[in-house]
Structures are given as C-alpha cells and as structure tokens.
Structure 1
C-alpha cells in the first residue's frame, strides 16, 4: 500500500531538493539526516524522503528528524509504501523527485553523510553548468575499504570524466554525489525502475551523455561514502554491467572508427572481442599486450590461442608493428616500446616492418582493469584508450 505524502500547507518551491530514497537504513539515518541539518546553503532547501517498504525503524527516525529539520527552516516531504517487497532504488528516487519541488536536485544515499558545504558548492557549479551532472570528491568509510577505487573517483582529470565513460565500471562521477537541475533531469528522463539488479545510475548516465550532457566534479571532498555489504550496488551483477557497457561502446564509439585494436591479448581481450557484433569484430586489426609470456608467443590465433610463430623473415618472435586481417581474430602481443612505435595499418594489409598508417584517428579498445566499486581488490575490464602516439578520437 502506498503511504500518502505528508499533508502540508502550500509552500513556495524550494531552490534545492535533497532526494533521499530509504530502505532499512536505521543504522545510518541519524548521521545522514544530521548532515542535512548542518548544510550551510543560504537558499531555500527541502528534503524529499521516499521509504521503499522498510521493515526496520527507519520511518520512526525520519519522523523524529522531521520536526528538527522543519524547525530549522527545511521542509520535509515524506512518501513511501509498505508493500511486502521493495520496488527498487530507481523507483524510490523517481518518487522522491516527483513529490519534491526544488529547481535543483541533490541526490543523497541514506547511508552517506554530506559535508556542510556540499549543497552550496554544487549549486554554484550547477548554475554554471546547467546541462551537466555535478559530482564531487569523496572520503570513504571505512577509509581503507576501496582505496584504489576511491583514488579513481577523486583523481580523474576533468577531461577523463568524459573520456573514461567507456572504461569505467560505472559513472565517472558516482551516483551518491550527483547534483543537477530539475529541468535537465526531466529532459534526460526518469531512472529505470527495473528493481534489484538493474544499474539505474549507469543507464541514466548513458542517456544523459546521449543527450549531450556534461560531467563536472567539484574538487573537494563533500561526501562520506560508506562501503558495506548491504549496499544496493552489490545486487548488480558484473555481467550485467559488462553487457550495458559493450552495448554503449558499440552504439557511441565503434561506428566512428574504420578499425581499432584491443589492448589485452588474454582472457579479457578475447571476452571483449566475443561480446562484439560481427560488424564490430571485423574492425579489430590487432590484439596487443605487455605481458612477456604473450610477447614470446608472438603472432598467434585469437580463437584457440594456437601459436603461429613469428612472421616470415622476422628474427624476433614479434615484428615492429603488426595486426591481423579483419574478422580473423589473429593477435599479436607487443611490448610498450613497440606500442610507442606502432602505426595502424590498412585492414588486410601484409606486414613487413612498420605498416602504413590508417587514415584518420586510430583508437585502441582496452580490456584491462579499472577499480571496481564492488570489490576493492579487483577491477573490471576497461574498453577504450587511444593508441600511444596517435591523434585522440573523442567518443
């Protein structure tokens, strides 16, 4: 059953609405809501809470904080439902947005804590970038839980916030830090409401990019970002993320290129190749790697990894630059020295020394690893990187 939004006298719209979906969050809500109260933003602020069938004391805590917040001039809008099962993060966010009034939306997870300046600084950035998603740097809790992933979140250069959308396991500014205008959110559309196991943040991020949206990060740590086993992100399978990423890659990047190489001649490189459509596979001209064992194998067949040995006339187990005929799936492992000298060639050309350059920019698909938000010790396969020494090609 849907719980009605709390009754209230008509109020003027807020400038910023904090969007807070809640599901069984009693362990963290006090700190989370306290951080709302401590915001130093001088404009009108509103908190919009939607409870997704919590079975713990979350609603009791929210009702208690409602009085404190409203006494401080922060109206609280509460909605929710008490169905037997939750309907998911996407649904809860959408409902919290629908019942809110702010011209800007500040997204907050119920297990995180905002720094006092978060709304103020992100609102300033959003005014300057009205069609962008505004993120921020974070501090992880526990501090050493995902050190590699946290460094990646905080240290991407401004241009990498867009160029690494094809290499990252999720959005290049993480969902709990998002801030954007309501007008732009409405232009992009609602979150996917498929429920558990759906990466609603990644799907929205991709649609945002399709519509020409920008990505901006405030380079201050404005959020305490918690890592724990009950986080919703753990319900999303890596294979689901992979499928969406490959689809976006083939939609947005690969049609622009006549040919490309895959950086990684191992399992992940083969996985990427096999995930592509036949048309995209035909554009693959080489597999490259820095692994010494793969380099020693030289020019080998991709599908069954059968070693074919060096090319005729080559004294080394690999030539200075090489690639396979399109669609055949043959691969060559190259050292970093060779990669710095590599010049892409026309698909199907025979290699004798350095092959002729391919017209236009040539881009490498990377099947290496970047940090994962789910597991601090592993990464998930990357997808795109420009070939060293070649012109960049933005996607």
Structure 2
C-alpha cells in the first residue's frame, strides 16, 4: 500500500462521507504547486476553489500568522485587537472608497456561508422578509445560505428551508424587476456565478439591479465570496468596468471570504449606508470571528497583492491562459473574469474525465458541471505554470475523449 492509499484509507475510516473519497492526500505546497503523499507534483489551477490567493506557503502569509500567534491568538469579541480594526478599516475603504469607514461597517465571520448568514439576518432587520435570488446561484451550505442557493440536489434533503425566497433567471433584468416589490428586503446576486461554471451576466445587469432595488427600498446584496479580493483583476468584481457598468451607487451589502486571508478561515459581511447600522448589540455574534490571526493573515494578503502588483498579474496571466484554452477546437467557449475562468467542452467530452486526465498529468482543475471546467488558480500563477498546462492540454483532452465517468 502506498502512502497515498494509506492516508486515503484512514481518511475514509475517520471523516464523515460528505465529500466522497478524496482525489488526493496533499502533503505540502509552494507557490502554485503542491505535492501528494507519494511525492508527485501538481500545478494547482484551482487554488482551493479561489481561496489560496498567494498560493501555498507564501512567506508574507507565513510570517504574518507566525508573528501574530506569538502575541495574541484569540481574545473573544469582548475585546478588540489592532489587526481586526485595521482590517475592518481596509475593507470599508475597499467597498466604499469615497466614504470609507464613516458610512461602512464590517461584521467578521469564519467562512463565506457565515458571511451570507450574517447578511441574511441583517436583511430581516429591515422589517421585510422577501428575498430575490437567482437561478444557478451558490451561496453556501448552512440552512440560511442554502435557502438562497438554487441547486435542487443541495436543497431537497434539508427542506423546509427558511422561506420567502424567489428565484429568477440570472442576468435577466426584466425578470428581476418583475420579482422585486415594495415588500422585498434584498436582492442577492453574484457578480459572476462560479459554481454554475463561471457565468458572466450582461455588463449592465448590476447597475439595473441597483436601480430596481433603490426604486423599491430594497437592499442590493452582492456575494463576492468567490469574485472578491483581486480574483477578477480588481479588488471587487463590481468595480471591474470590463465586467460591470458603473453602479449608480455602491451595494448595500457585500459578502467576502475565500481569498481574503489566503487559506486562513475568515469571512466578512460589509454593509454601507443605512444598512451598516441594522445589526445592533445582541443581534448576531461569533466566538472566533475577527480573531487576530485571521485578521493579520488577511492584512498580509491585501498588502502582498498591492505590493507585488498581483492585480496586474491577474490580467496578464488570464489573457495568456484564455488564449491557449481557446486554441483547442474541443473547447467551445471560454469565459474569463480575471483568474476565474469557465470552459465549455464539445458535446460528448465529459468534464469529469478531463479533470481525471489532468490530475494524471499533474494538474488540478475542477468540473462544476458535466460539460464545464473551472479554473481559479492562485493570483501568483506564473507564465511558466500556464505554459506547462497548455503544453499538456492536447494530451489531456485526448486521454479524456470517449471516456464516460460514473
């Protein structure tokens, strides 16, 4: 039995079977590369599903966590810490640069689902209960977040879910306008749908959503858990003028997580204007949220993205990767929002078979649907990493052709 097989056997014997048998047991990483328990090397083109913004073992992240742990690790929310305050100020300025912390507030969480749970509770403080969400949406697996997630396979085993949610087609402003009323508390939208296979709406969609919500006194809530923190080449996707027309006003709520601390668990619910004061003492809480270690990690990620010009790297690497992907006739469409890239495969080519063939060849990618691939690599991905994958791609697709996986 190999080391990989041994660890996998131990995993299946001790860990609940919510994810199935793991594809690999990974032991270490460096930059955009990881190694499994048998020593095989892989280029990581998934980044922990858009989490490892700085890749693996980045010295800035390692240093920040190590230094913070030597002073304060956890203090509870009876107290505040300098990293927590500094991070909140940074996120306020990021979401609303014109007013920053004066009119914008943050509630920290431990994950994206928890950030959406906080936002969901915040919307109830409007005195309204109706939420409009979109088909194809993914907002998390907790009960509240799941109520906003459209996929029937995720929802059905846990119904009844929190109610008063209407789903409308994604990217359809007319359908959105028809669903929002004066009884609507909020509209929740992903600027780009990741779980659905990287679906990019019309450029005026978010601006239309802002007009619609404003007209009815509803909150506009953008789930930037996967698209935020530089993933699309700007700090937040709604600020990317290649993806979105300029909003007439900033969103009322922005939820963040994934890449925010580069792999250290954290999430944030950021609210602007009147929405920033809806949650009051006793309305919500979390024991670990905003702890000094996660906050220090997030500050290190933000500093490094800025200092190392990683937003510019996202644009350059995205262009190189998408051009190479588009060159193969077995790929029928490539949709790119920076380093969140979706690929449609020719009919009959099974995405799970492509993922398996890529893994055999030493590359980690993802198949969110049976006919689509998703790439969400670290923002530190290099030209050499891209070129290695593109050189291997024809053979990967050759190996996958004609294969049907269970």
- TM-score w.r.t. the length of structure 2 is 0.25
Higher RCO (CA < 8 A, seq sep 6+): 2
- TM-score w.r.t. the length of structure 1 is 0.25
